[in-house]
Amino acid sequence: MLGERKKLDKPGQGKRVGIGGGIEIGENALQAVFREVIEEMGTKQDGDIVFRLNSAEQVGIVYFLFPHKKDFPGYNQRCYIFISNDYSGKSIETNDIKPEWYPVNQPPKEFMWPDNLLWVPQALSGQKINGIFVYNENNQISDYKIES
């Protein structure tokens, strides 16, 4: 499951991204991923929850750095990576995300951030990963390191 990022005020509009967001005060990363999945692809406008994770496994942490975006510190991110095959309901489009299901071996490469092609296959194969990606002003990777 990936989602087409719809919001104009977030990095990656139009890209296919993992579902997620920030960790709120009092939450840990696992609690945040459960909440974000409900918010981004599981809550109707009337508030009914129609999709949720039942469990998730953390498989890594990846850092994304944009040193040229000094005026936009939100571009620099630490992302906790979770995978799950255990969910209930049917995902729906929300104001943030248009969810789309892809076969694991056929991701929409042309719509993904370049780093995804380097670490996502490892995570989906069950490898634990830690990575750091540095992007240049052309949104291309200028440096990276991945440890499994």
pTM: predicted TM-score of the whole model, two decimal places: 0.89
Question: If pLDDT is split at 50, 70 and 90, which confidence band does 119 have?
Answer: very high
Buried (b) or exposed (e) across 2-29, using 16+ Cβ within 10 A? bbbbeeeeebeeebbbbbbbebeeeeeb
Question: Around Cβ 99, how many Cβ atoms within 10 Å?
Answer: 20
**Which tens digit of pLDDT belongs to each residue from 19-77?**
988 899 999 999 999 999 999 998 888 889 999 999 999 999 999 999 998 888 778 99
Give the DSSP letter string of 23-75. Answer: PPTT--HHHHHHHHHHHHHSB-TTS-B-EEES--EEEEEEEEE-TT-TT-GGG
- For residue 9, is pLDDT > 90? no
Of the candidates 74, 67, 68, the one whose C-alpha atom is nearest the C-alpha of residue 9 is 74
| Beta bridge mates, 82 | 58
106 secondary structure, DSSP code? -
- For residue 123, is pLDDT > 80? yes
Q: What is the CATH number of domain 2-59+82-130?
A: 3.90.79.10
CA 74 to chain centre: 15
Decide: 1 and 97 in contact? Cβ < 8 Å.
no
Decide: 79 and 133 in contact? Cβ < 8 Å.
no
Of the candidates 56, 52, 53, 69, the one whose C-alpha atom is nearest the C-alpha of residue 12 is 69
- Interior angle at CA 100, CA 99 and CA 101, nearest 5: 130
Parse the chain into domains and list their residue ranges. Answer: 2-59+82-130
